[in-house]
Amino acid sequence: MSLLAAKRLEKHYGHHVVLENLNFSVEPGEFVTLVGASGCGKTTFLKMLLGTEAVSKGSLTLDEKPIPNEPGPDRGVVFQKYSVFPHLTVLGNVMMADELHSSKLLGKASVPPSAAR
Ligand SMILES: Nc1ncnc2c1ncn2[C@@H]1O[C@H](COP(=O)(O)OP(=O)(O)OP(=O)(O)O)[C@@H](O)[C@H]1O
Ligand SMILES: [Mg+2]
């Protein structure tokens, strides 16, 4: 049983076919890298894995169940721009959410009533 499986997976935006007939499987513990020319659909695929983009055709399953149509705590993506800290490693970026969560210096944004207009 594969951890992740794509079978005849397709993604279209209107008439624009971004991914077509994508077939592969990932076994538990495997480390996978996506490589391809700019615009070939890497980010689109990751968004389907995250659940922020719907599958157009075919199937994409995690533990033999279709990927849910919304993000969940079991899947995460560190995007290549905007949200990554370039001075940190990939692992450092992934761990940042945990660090921020446990930081004592991170306060809730609040405006005292006297300062609110
Ligand atoms: N929301 C969208 N609506 C329409 N077309 C889109 C949308 N998102 C992506 N595309 C198109 O899908 C194709 C694949 O884009 P994608 O961003 O997945 O490529 P990529 O492989 O991640 O490229 P890069 O290496 O530059 O990050 C591109 O032609 C892009 O213009
Ligand atoms: Mg991309």
Q: Is the pLDDT of residue 64 over 90?
A: yes
Q: 63 by DSSP, 3-state: which?
A: coil
Per-residue pLDDT, 66: 94
Shortest-distance Cα residue to atom 18 of ligand 1: 41
Higher pLDDT, 115 or 62: 62
Give the whole-angstrom CA distance, residue 20 versus residue 72: 26
Residue 25 has pLDDT above 90, yes or no: yes
pLDDT at 106: 64
pLDDT of residue 107: 56
Distance 42 CA to ligand 1 centre (A): 8
Q: Please provide the distance, in angstroms rounded to a whole number, between the alpha carbons at the two ends of the chain.
A: 59
Domain 4-72's class? alpha beta
Which amino acid would we find at residue 89? Answer: T
Domain ranges of the chain: 4-72, 76-106
Q: Mean pLDDT of all residues in the chain?
A: 85
Label residue 4 by pLDDT band (50, 70, 90): very high
Looking at per-residue pLDDT, the higher value among 16 and 106 belongs to 16
Rounded to the nearest whole angstrom, what is the distance from the C-alpha of residue 38 to the centroid of ligand 2? 7
Compute the distance from residue 84 Cα to the ligand 2 centre, in Å. Answer: 14
Percent of the chain with pLDDT over 70: 85
Q: In angstroms, rounded to a whole number, what is the distance separating the alpha carbons of residues 44 and 50?
A: 10
